[in-house]
Structures are given as structure tokens and as C-alpha cells.
Chain A
Amino acid sequence: MEFAIFAITSIIALMGGIMMLVSRNAVHSALYLLLNFGAIAILYLLLLSPFLFAVQLAVYAGAIVVLFLFVVMLLGAERAEDDNDALAWQKPLALILGLVLLGQAIFVAIQRTTTLPVPAEANFGSPTELATLLFTDYLLPVEVTSVILLVAMVGVVVLNKVRKERGA
């Protein structure tokens, strides 16, 4: 049963990724990305991390995809790029190198001896356990993260500030 859910969800995730790659319309790409994020959230649930499932849906599927859609529509960038590509030779090369990378990754993943994961105790991955770890061992990184978010926010405001004309 678990394997069936895993297989179906993985196929949906991969299809979402591939369709995002080949869609000519950027809005469609963003929506396929949403499908992919949702499928990965379900995989998190299968891997006993309900907290990350919620965070994935709220931050990725909620905030980030909406931000992408907003910018695509703001810039009117949904149309496909022109076909007269300045670096036309790059596409087949990218395809070959990408497939080599995939082959290497598959080789490495198969090489390592895999054992079925042992059953976890009931509260593994519960938000309480994760929070305990976050606010004890990882307290400093959490604080650094808050600074990163603040810097990002200030940076976005500064980048898009409309400068007043001098003398106006």
C-alpha cells in the first residue's frame, strides 16, 4: 500500500517537473511546479515528517508559487522565448550532460547498500520533537535565519524603490 502511494506520487512529481520544463507558457510552468511541490509534500508525509509537509504546502505551494505567478503576470512574461537562440549549440550539450549526471546519480544511489528503514517510534518527526531540536541544538542557526529573512526583506524594498528625480 505504502509502495503504491510512493510510486503514484513520484510519477506525479516527475511529470510535474518535466511538464514545467517543456511548457511554453510560464503560467503553466508555475502551475506544474505547484503540482510538483504538492507531490513532494505527500512524499514528506510518507517519510514521517508531518511538520515539513505543512511547511512545504504553506511556504512552497502557498507563498513561492503565488510570488512566481504574480511576477509572471506583472511582467507579462508568459509568452515563450524567441526561437532565434544565440547559443543554440547549448541545448543538445545540456541534454547530454544532464543525462550523464542522472546516470552518475543513479549509479551512486544503486551502489550504496540499502536496507529497509527500521520502524520508527510513534513520536518520530512530530512537531514537538523537531521544535525541541530547533530551539536547543540549532538555536544559533534559527537566529541567523531570522537575520537572513530581514536582509531579504530590506533588499527587496531597496531594489524596487523608485528613485525620485533629482531636483523634482
Chain B
Amino acid sequence: MVPTSYYVLVSAALFTIGVLGVLMRRNAIIMFMSVELMLNAANLAFVAFAREQLALDGQVMVFFVITVAAAEVAVGLALLVAIFRSKRTTDVDEVNTLKG
């Protein structure tokens, strides 16, 4: 048996990697992947606590997170393609038309 806190530690590390990815990379697609990584880290913690408490509600919640994540990726990548059509770049620093 693996203690729940070990899973939570792995989840925390994965979440931090995701945060660093969003903050340090400039390629919008990689930033998106990092957001997915953060969602996955949260899911892992959910499932770990569902196992500890023997409550299935955590797993149901993960199911909903996965659905929303799928919708979010589809819309986000469509936005990226639309931005690329007008700006010819995926670098978020280049998309600064609204900057004062």
C-alpha cells in the first residue's frame, strides 16, 4: 500500500512543472500543454483522495474535469489557429496589439 501523501507529493510536483511551463515558455501551444499538465495533477490528487476516503465522488469529479479539459483544448487550439491566421505566429509576446 502506498500512502496517499506520496501521490499528493507527485501531484504537487507535476502541478509545479505545469506552472513553470506557463510562466517560462513563450510558445502558446507549449503553454497549453502545461495547463493540461496542471489539470492532470489535480486529477491525480482527486483520485488519490477518492481512494483514501473510499468515496467515488472524487472519481466522478475527475470524469467531469476530463470532459471540460477536452472542450477547453478544442476551443483553445481553434483560437490559436485563428490568431496564427492573422498574426503568423504562436509566440505570445508577438500578440500585443492591445498593449498601451
Which residues of A are interface residues toward B (Cβ below 8 A)?
2-3, 6, 10, 13-14, 17-18, 20-21, 26, 29-30, 33, 36-37, 40, 43-44, 46-49, 51-52, 55-56, 59-60, 63-64, 67-68, 71-72, 74-75, 77, 80-82, 85-87, 90-91, 94-95, 97-99, 101-102, 105-106, 109-110, 112, 114-118, 120, 124-125, 129-130, 133-134, 138, 141, 145, 148-149, 151-153, 155-156, 159-160
- B interface: dominant SS: helix
Complex Cα spacing A81 to B26, Å = 7
Interface CB pairs A-B, < 8 A, 14 = A14-B17, A21-B34, A26-B27, A47-B51, A49-B59, A63-B70, A68-B29, A81-B25, A95-B24, A115-B52, A152-B70, A152-B75, A153-B74, A159-B79
Q: Decide if the interface of chain A is mainly helix, strand, loop or mixed.
A: helix
Q: How far is the CB of B35 from chain A (nearest CB, A)?
A: 11
Asked whether A13 lies within 8 Å of B63 as measured between CB atoms, the reply is: no
Instruction: Give the residue name and chain of the B residue nearest to A33 (CB).
Output: B33
Residues of A within 8 A of B68 (CB): 145, 148
